Amino acid sequence: MTDTTGAGGTPPGDDRPDPSARRALRRRRARSVAGTFISLALTLLGLLLVTFIIGRVMPIDPVLKVVGDRATQAQYDAAYQAMGLDQPLIVQFLRYIGDVLTGDFGRSISTGQPVAQDIARVFPATVELAVLGTLVGVLIGVPLGVMAAAQRGGIFDQVARVVALVGYSMPIFWLGLMGLLIFYGNLGWVGGPGRQGIIYDGMVPSVTGLILVDSLLAGDWAAFRDAFSHIVLPASLLGYYSLAYISRMTRSFMLEQLSAEYIITARVKGLSESAVIWRHAFRNISIPLVTVIALSFGSLLEGSVLTEIIFSWPGLGSYITRALLSGDMNAVLGGTVVIGVCFVVLNLLSDILYRILDPRSK
C-alpha cells in the first residue's frame, strides 16, 4: 500500500497548518496581547507617578488652599491629617492610585465641585473641537500629501510644502486672533468667542455634551447653525495645524511607496496613474496613517489650550489653565491624568487597528 501521508502525518496537498504551528501562533498572539496590556499598565503607572510627584513638588500648599490663610494651627493640622499628608509617600501614592482608578480626583477649590464632575462637564467641548479639527486635517491633509508626492518637485508639491510649513510653524494664538479680527470682527462670517450665543445658551438639552449633536437630536436647527458658526473658526485653525502634520507624513509615506519596485511593475503593466497612486500606493500607506491620525487627534486634545483661551471655549484646556492660575492642583492634575489616559487609549486603539489592517504584524 502506498503511503499517502507526508511528513508528520499530513496528507499531501493539505494546506492546513500543523497543530504545533497553530499552537505556536496562538502563543505568539497571546504574548503580543499580554505585552500590549503590560505596556499599557506601566505607561499608566508612570503617568500617575509623574502627576503625583508634580503635586508634591509644586510650591503650593494644598492645605492652605482648603482652610485659608486665617486658619489656626489646630485647623491646619486637622486638615493636614484628613488629607493624608502625614502618611509616608508610598502610602500616599498607593492611595492616589486607588482614588484615580475609582474616578476620584478630589474636589476643585475653584468650583467647589468634584473634579471628575467638572471634567465630565467641560471635556465634551474639547472633544467636539478636536474631532472637527481632525476631520479637517484628514479630509484636506491626506489628499494634499498624496498629490504632493505624486507631483514631487512640481508647483503643487512646492505649494503644499509651504502650506504645511506655515501651519506647522505659525503660532496658533496669532492665527486665532487674526481669524477673529478678520472673519468675526470685519466680515461677520462666523460667530464670536464662546460656544454659543447668549440667546441659545442653555436652551438645548444636554444629552451627549456635544452641542452640534444635541441640537440635532432636539431638532433645533437655529441652535445648530449658531453653534456651528461659533465652532467653525477654532476647529478650522486646529484643523490647519493637524493638516500640516498629516500632509507632511502622508507625503513622506507616499514617496517611499512610489519608489518601490511593485509600483514600477504596475506602471509597466499599463495601469493608469490614478490606479497606481490610489489603488496600490495609498492602500499600503493607510496602515501607518492610522497611527498618524490617532496621534494628531491626541495632540489636538492636549494642545487646544491656547485656542480655547482665545475663543473663550469652555473646554478642558481652559479649565486646566484657570485651575493652574488659581493654584487648584486637584483640577490641574485631574485634567492632566485625563489627557494622558486619552493618549494611552488612542495609542492602544491605533495598535489594534494596525494589527487588524496588517495581518503580518500579528
pLDDT tens digit string along 74-109? 877 787 777 777 788 888 888 888 888 888 888 888
Q: What is the pLDDT of residues 210-228, one digit of tens each?
A: 889 989 988 889 889 999 9
Tell me what pLDDT residue 235 has: 92
C-alpha to C-alpha distances, 56 to 49, 59, 143, 199, nearest whole angstrom: 11, 8, 47, 44
Task: Identify the pLDDT of residue 359.
Answer: 57
For the chain, domain boundaries: 19-101, 122-361
**pLDDT (0 to 100) of residue 53:** 85
- Give residue 39's pLDDT: 79
Identify which has the larger pLDDT, 13 or 66: 66
Mean per-residue pLDDT for 131-147? Answer: 92
What is the pLDDT averaged over residues 183-207? 84
What is the reported pLDDT for 170?
81
- How much is the pTM? 0.80
CATH class of 122-361: mainly alpha
Q: What is the mean pLDDT of residues 176-186?
A: 89
117-134 mean pLDDT = 91
Q: What is the pLDDT of residue 1?
A: 45
Confidence at residue 208, expressed as pLDDT on a 0 to 100 scale = 86
37-63: average pLDDT = 80
| Rounded mean pLDDT, 268-297 | 84
Q: Is the pLDDT of residue 288 over 50?
A: yes
Torsion region of 219: left, alpha or beta (phi above 0 gives left; psi -120 to 50 gives alpha): left
Of 74-83, 165-174, 329-338, which range is least confident? 74-83
Q: Would you say residue 37 has pLDDT above 90?
A: no
